Structure 1
Amino acid sequence: MRILGKFVNQQQRLIDYLFIAMGSIIQAVSMRLFLIPGLMVSGGISGAAQIVNYFTNLPIGVMVLIGNLPLLALGWRYLGGRRFALRTAAAVILFSVFTDGLAFILPRNGLTEDILLDALYGGVLLGIGLGFVYRGRGTSGGSDILGRILNHYRGVAISQAYLITDGVVVLASGFAFGWDRALYGLIVIYISGLAAEMVSEGNSLYRTTFIITNKPQEVTERICTLLERGVTLIPGTGGYTGQARTMLYCVLSRAEISVLKTIVTEIDPQAFMVIGQANEALGEGFRPLSKD
């Protein structure tokens, strides 16, 4: 069993690094075909490197690598030690190498002179690359590391941390490239965030439901029979009436919500429902809960 476990872990590690390599290449292609020719930054160390490159012509990849070295040390110290540092280092090194290497292969002026197309396609490709890196349980370094440190140790929300770290670079790009380019850079950041989330988390968002009903057993039986989903019964007390009530908790796919509404309406039209959203569901009936 130990040998099998080691084999599975090594296989998963190999898959993770393949995801990281694929994501790093896609990010580099996005930079070389769209963002660098379009003079748009997406924040972070790579954005700062673009600005320095514009004035000094120093290689962007080399500057990204150098700029990430102290951040990698911080990540090792505060965010998970060896595994975090190795995966992030792999992502940073591959991104740096491909960003400079592709400059000799891809067209220097990119694919289009349309700034909007540069922003849209650059953002989508950049986000897909980031998503693959996240799926490999790595990070892209730079503002990722600073954002997580601010979140973990200072209580700053991740979104606010990214806004702070990336906002400074975007502001600097406004002075360097012009404010229209900086505004398009904000579009790149937004689109890349959406694409990264879809690739890393998938588009299979689930629905969480709380149902307060006077007929909990009937509703539960119908859900288990028709939808084949598990239901958790939670005892509660009405705050206004003081009466004992039973609340049902259930996780469903989006397509099953309409069926659930029909079930509850037919059995207890006076029931109260709250429907929320979950990014991921692990366990029986959903994705397997694998060991990280």
Structure 2
Amino acid sequence: MSRNGLQIIVGAFIYAIAINDFLIPHQIGEGGVTGLTTIGYYALHISPAYTNFVLNGLLMLVGFRFLEKQTVWYSAWAVLWISIFLKLPPLLHYHTDQTIIPAIFGGVLMGIAMGIIFRGEGTIAGSTILARIVNRYFGMQNGSAMLLFDLMVAIPSVLIIGLQNMLLTIVELAVSAVVLNNFLSRFGAKKAVTIISDQTTEMTAELSRILNQGITLINAEGYYHQEKRPMIYVICTDKQVAEIVPVISSIDPKAFVVIDNVRSVKGTAISKLL
């Protein structure tokens, strides 16, 4: 089994825990197809495993039209395992009258689970397929697009679960969207270090030795003094930044250094930055 396949199974397991142990025991809804499965359970006592499998299977047909085939197959794999794990009994048997707690922690687990599945090249189908389509063609973040579609199901659920639980559902959806966006934003996270120094040659040689990677020199000219000198530009990890900052200070204590957060991948994976 591929690494992506195993990753999706882990995400599916966490997703099922969020539903079985936090949302359903406290009558908190969800958005998209998952929201429909919980409503079906609350109103008609239909197992979420069945409605999740059937409704998401139909949405897969939409995915085949707009998404890469590999993403659709991995999504089918995710839906299969989510349905299997939803058939399991609750593992934590957690219940509290402070319903804001399961709303928040359910949202955190949902966001983490979807992030893991997304990183495994899949989706949980439902609104995530629609979110992936919006992300691909309009650049909206996955978590934000999902929240938009999920609210279309969550708000009408007030007729089944009541106003308080509907509001808790919105809290859970907002938390999961924030967690998902932050989880995915860590993909390709790096630091961009720009250095302006009088000791460019020595600085570049030492940084190249420490980092053992390419370093870019950019020809620059200061407007005020009309002085030309190269800027050193390098992409590195947080750990590497901690290693090179003392070196920069030791070579040129007067060096001007700018460190920015960036995200970078090779061209074949550039779509993952969206």
TM-score range, shorter chain: 0.7 to 0.9
**Runs of at least 5 residues in structure 1 that lack an aligned partner in the other structure:** 1-12, 283-288
Call closer, same or farther: CA 1:187–1:260 in 2, change over 3 Å: farther
CA contact (8 A) 1:214 1:246 kept: no
Separation in structure 2 between the aligned mates of residue 62 and residue 133 of structure 1, nearest angstrom = 20
Tell which deviates more after alignment, 144-153 or 64-73. 64-73
Call closer, same or farther: CA 1:261–1:15 in 2, change over 3 Å: closer
Residue 155 of structure 1: how far off its partner (Å): 4.8
Q: 2:25 aligns with which of 34, 37, 40?
A: 37
Number of the residue aligned with 1:26: 14
Number of the residue aligned with 1:121: 105
Number of the residue aligned with 1:86: 73
Tell which deviates more after alignment, 71-80 or 216-225. 216-225
Report SS of the residue matched to 2:84.
Answer: helix
**Segments ≥4 residues shifted beyond 6 Å:** 197-204
Call closer, same or farther: CA 1:217–1:279 in 2, change over 3 Å: same
Q: TM-score normalized by structure 2?
A: 0.78
CA contact (8 A) 1:88 1:139 kept: yes
Number of the residue aligned with 1:111: 94
Separation in structure 1 between the aligned mates of residue 187 and residue 90 of structure 2, nearest angstrom = 32
Separation in structure 1 between the aligned mates of residue 140 and residue 187 of structure 2, nearest angstrom = 27
**Runs of at least 5 residues in structure 2 that lack an aligned partner in the other structure:** 270-274
Call closer, same or farther: CA 1:228–1:17 in 2, change over 3 Å: closer
Please list, as runs of the form range in 1=range in 2, the aligned pairs for 1:202-241 lying within 5 A after superposition. 205-226=189-210, 228=212, 230-238=214-222
Paired residue type of 1:164: L
Please list, as runs of the form range in 1=range in 2, the aligned pairs for 1:42-191 lying within 5 A after superposition. 42-81=30-69, 83-99=70-86, 101-102=87-88, 105-106=89-90, 110-113=93-96, 114-191=98-175
Separation in structure 1 between the aligned mates of residue 132 and residue 248 of structure 2, nearest angstrom = 42
Q: 1:80-125 CA distances to partner (integer Å, 9 max, x unpaired)? A: 12x22221112112212332x22xx338x94112323322432343
State the identity as a percent. Answer: 28
Number of the residue aligned with 1:4: none
Q: 1:166-202 CA distances to partner (integer Å, 9 max, x unpaired)? A: 2223323445434443443344335445665787787
Tell which deviates more after alignment, 264-273 or 242-251. 264-273
Report SS of the residue matched to 2:145.
Answer: helix
CA contact (8 A) 1:21 1:91 kept: yes
Separation in structure 2 between the aligned mates of residue 237 and residue 174 of structure 1, nearest angstrom = 62
CA contact (8 A) 1:229 1:252 kept: no
Q: CA RMSD in A?
A: 3.4
Number of the residue aligned with 2:231: 247
